[in-house]
Amino acid sequence: MPLTDADYKSAADELGCEVAAVKAVAAVESSGEPFLADGRPCILFEAHIFSRYTQCKFDQTHPHISSPTWNRKLYRGGAAEWERLEEAIELDRKAALMSASWGAFQVMGFNFALCRFTNVEDFVAAMKESEAKQLTAFVQFIKSRDLDDELRRKDWRGFARGYNGIGFKQNAYDTKLARVYEQIRGAKQEAA
């Protein structure tokens, strides 16, 4: 069931920010598509994270899913990311689940505790269940990382740094967030 404006408003109220700010994060992180056409959540498998959690054990034998450094060329996109995840699961299930970002807000599996889950399996189950659970996990993550003030101030650079890590500059996340926020905000004002 898709998120409603009321769902976004509730999340924004809990974070003390504008609805457009929350919607901008979803739009930038997953192009507003929390699930694939086949019903699985959108994911992005991060080979460098898998390498870290497996102590580089599979870097030589499985370089397409385990890499000591971030490499954009390893991404396959869409449903093909699930193929990469499934291959990694065969090698080390927990490390694989923690090495993917999940759903509308692309929260990394290794952040399960910051999202108030006991383990990564429970986190993944919630990400598979609904957009509402993805939104709840996002809100908890933002609060745990103290990024709500960046959303309130619309400090896109600070938010992108805290949300996406130091590589945010390579992907221009701050610029994308600012642009999409303004588009969403502008569309809302036109509709009013």
Q: Is residue 66 part of a domain?
A: no
Ranked by mean pLDDT, the top range of 23-32, 114-123, 171-180 is 114-123
Q: Span 127-139, mean pLDDT?
A: 97
Query: How many domains are contained in the chain?
Result: 1
Question: Which range, of 104-118, 131-145, 155-169, 178-192, averages the lowest pLDDT?
Answer: 178-192
Round to whole Å and give the CA distance between 123 and 114.
10
Q: Is residue 162 part of a domain?
A: yes
Round to whole Å and give the CA distance between 37 and 138.
22
Q: Is residue 89 part of a domain?
A: no
pLDDT tens for 58-116 read 999 999 999 999 999 999 999 999 999 999 999 999 999 999 999 999 999 999 999 99
Q: What is the pLDDT of residue 23?
A: 96
pLDDT at 189 over 70: no
Q: What is the pLDDT of residue 192?
A: 52
Q: Is residue 14 part of a domain?
A: yes
Q: Which helix (H) or strand (E) holds 44?
A: strand 43-45
pLDDT at 156 over 80: yes
Round to whole Å and give the CA distance between 16 and 181.
16
Mean pLDDT across the chain, nearest whole number? 94
Q: Is residue 53 part of a domain?
A: no
Q: Are 42 and 36 spatial neighbours (Cβ–Cβ below 8 Å)?
A: yes
Round to whole Å and give the CA distance between 51 and 58.
7
| Residue numbers of the domain that contains 10 | 1-34+127-186
Q: Is residue 147 part of a domain?
A: yes
Please tell me which residue, 192 or 18, carries the higher pLDDT value.
18
Q: Is residue 173 part of a domain?
A: yes
Q: Is residue 43 part of a domain?
A: no
Residue 11 Cα distances to 15, 97, 139, angstroms: 6, 25, 7
pLDDT at 117 over 70: yes
